[in-house]
Structure 1
Amino acid sequence: MEDDAVRADSSVLSDGGETVAITDEADEISPDEVCVLIPTLDEAATIGDVIDGFYDEGYTNVVVVDGDSTDDTREIAREHGAEVMVQSGDGKGQAVREVLEYVTVPYVLMLDGDGTYDPADADKMIEPLARGYEHVIGNRFADMDDDAMRALNGFGNRMINRAFGFVHGANYEDILSGYRAFTVDSFERLSLDSDGFTIETELAVECVKHGIETTVVPISYTARPDESETNLHPIRDGGTILLALYSLAKTNNPLFYFGSLGVSGIVSGFLIAVYVLWEWVQYNQSHEIMAVVSAAAILLGVQLLMFGVLSDMLVTLHREQRRRLERIAREARDK
């Protein structure tokens, strides 16, 4: 798992000229310093067992943020000792952003309430934060039950992870994992706009974009109980996630975003030009309008490529400047 953004074995991490200490040994984080955040929507069948599991592990600061469930999710969560909040809007992303405004502890452990994630992995998720990491992703593929994920979902997940690595240049192994641990400070530095289930995708992209020290740990992943129904639609939601990955490249990897548009324009213009030339040579027929369209497409494509190069330079300079300012601010706080 050697990667510029995922370096679990390094003793010191350097990012943009700024050195961040990642130690093999660190003070243990108390469960009282961790908020277990569980976004829910109609999870009455599983939420009670999930909350009890964290209580058994010593994590008693459990917050359930509910998206206006129509079943008994909120009532069951309260009965099992969790603090329950009802989000004002719709979607998992909106719920997470809203509840983080009220969190007073430094660390958050976030997971879905469908019973697929194991509370026994909580310590494993929190431990890297004590060593200096700011964001931890649980890799479901490390220990997944055979029936935990449909073949189509598994294929789609792997394709999305490969697309993420290609577009955004980091290998996080399982960017769609709902089991996350992070510092509240790092979350506040992210620019999150997603309202729905694409929040995990946006979190991964923002970690790369803002240089958040991120690592991946293996977790177990089990199948949903029979009485629990999923809200996921593989084809539609997979397409939405891929579109989000591409759209987010606009500010994180503008060379890819505008470059791909530029190459598409150039190739389209070239193909039209070949057709126009073929018609003229073979049949002595001219297509003036198509020739103009071809020239315009090629010119637009070249301009988009140039814009992508310039945007990439600006983004790089902006990141370096932001990291310098963050380092100066931390040094000022430490004095």
Structure 2
Amino acid sequence: MDKLAVLIPCYNEGQTIKKVVLDVRKAIKEIPNSQIYVYDNNSTDNTAEEALSGGAIVRYEHQQGKGNVIRRMFREIDAECYVMIDGDDTYPAEEIPKMAKYVLEQKYDMVVGDRLSSSYFEENKRPFHGIGNKLVRGSINFFFKNDIRDIMTGYRAFSLEFVKTYPVLSKGFEIETEMSIFAIVNNLAMKNHIIEYRDRPEGSESKLDTFSDGFKVLKLIATLYRNYKPLPFYGWLAALLSVISILFFIPRVLVPYHLTGKVLNMPTLIVCGLMILAAIMSLYSGLILDAIQRKERREYEFRLQQVNQRKQK
């Protein structure tokens, strides 16, 4: 088992990957038993060759998508601490020892390389990326009640417990959002670590599509909120259905009935009744799913114990 494994997912980063590998190697030279792994995701340039020339261990993932690459990395590599960094030379490699120290000595499960509290908005030249980052961060911190300052950053450190118990479900760039919410929901120890950010060098292009990938991230947030917090989700839906039903029922059914003694809008009465039934079903669905989610959290704690026992051996 490695003491430290630096993970670099790559797709067409031939222009920058060698520099990144060399910078990482310089940064971790004082950490014994550390390795650099570059996972090439069907690059059509010389990414793999450049990574090898820099001294990295190069492996391959043929299913396209960053989420698929991270799934492969987490399955194949055993280490006490993992640091994930992008191969585009936008993150400072010299911060790796500090981030690893939080995991190895202070027992944090995830350390987030926070770009948004430093130079991100001055350096990033891609339109709407800053707005998108703020929107995603605000949505997660509102719905899941946390203070992660940079949800979309690709610079993170992880504990063995996190890596070996985290089920990677996302295929693409929404993976960072998924792992952030997973850590929040399971009450894992997290640390924001402010880093300096520099934009990509000229000629290097981002693989992230602002609008399509941004939509996927927002959709994922809504899906995970429903899955991880079913009682609030279905409770609010039940409340909305009840309010709509009452707003139609009182003026169109109850008031005319009080004045005339007759139900003058039978279709409205039927629809309002169906909406109340739907609200009741929604509430009970939330209660049932909430009980299942609580059971899942208890089982997750048992999985953490098993990984800890494996680590001690």
Fold agreement, TM-score > 0.5? yes
Shift, 1:320, TM fit: 4.6
Determine helix, strand or coil for the equivalent of 1:227: coil
Q: Which residue of 1 aligns with 2:166?
A: 190
Q: 2:20 aligns with which of 47, 50, 62?
A: 50
Structure 2 matches for 1:24-35, cutoff 5 A?
33-35=3-5
Q: Which residue of 2 aligns with 1:11?
A: none
1:40 aligns to 2:13 (yes or no): no
Q: Which residue of 1 aligns with 2:207?
A: 231
RMSD: 3.0
Q: Is the 8 A contact 1:48 1:80 kept in 2?
A: yes
Normalising by structure 1, what TM-score? Answer: 0.79
How many percent identity over aligned positions? 27
1:117–1:312: structure 2 CA closer, same or farther, 3 Å change rule?
A: same
1:287–1:238: structure 2 CA closer, same or farther, 3 Å change rule?
A: farther
The count of residues paired between Structure 1 and Structure 2 equals 302
Q: Which residue of 2 aligns with 1:304?
A: 282
Provide, for residues 188-209 of structure 1, a one-character-per-residue CA deviation record: whole Å limited to 9, x for no partner: 1122211111111111111122
Q: Is the 8 A contact 1:168 1:252 kept in 2?
A: no
Shift, 1:68, TM fit: 0.2
Query: Structure 1 counterpart of 2:160, which letter?
Result: V
Distance in 2 separating the partners of 1:326 and 1:73 = 36
Q: Which residue of 1 aligns with 2:142?
A: 166
Q: Is the 8 A contact 2:11 2:43 kept in 1?
A: yes
Structure 2 residue runs without a partner (length 5+): none
Distance in 1 separating the partners of 2:292 and 2:74 = 31
1:243 aligns to 2:219 (yes or no): yes
Provide, for residues 65-93 of structure 1, a one-character-per-residue CA deviation record: whole Å limited to 9, x for no partner: 11101111112111211111110312111
Query: Structure 1 counterpart of 2:113, which letter?
Result: G
1:143 aligns to 2:121 (yes or no): no
Q: Which residue of 2 aligns with 1:23?
A: none
Q: Which residue of 2 aligns with 1:18?
A: none
Determine helix, strand or coil for the equivalent of 2:191: strand
Distance in 2 separating the partners of 1:36 and 1:329 = 20
Structure 1 residue runs without a partner (length 5+): 1-31
Shift, 1:276, TM fit: 5.2
Shift, 1:294, TM fit: 3.5
Q: Which residue of 2 aligns with 1:129?
A: 103
1:78 aligns to 2:48 (yes or no): no
Q: Which residue of 2 aligns with 1:119?
A: 93
Normalising by structure 2, what TM-score? Answer: 0.84
Distance in 2 separating the partners of 1:106 and 1:292 = 61
Q: Which structure shows the bigger proportion of residues in helix conformation?
A: 2
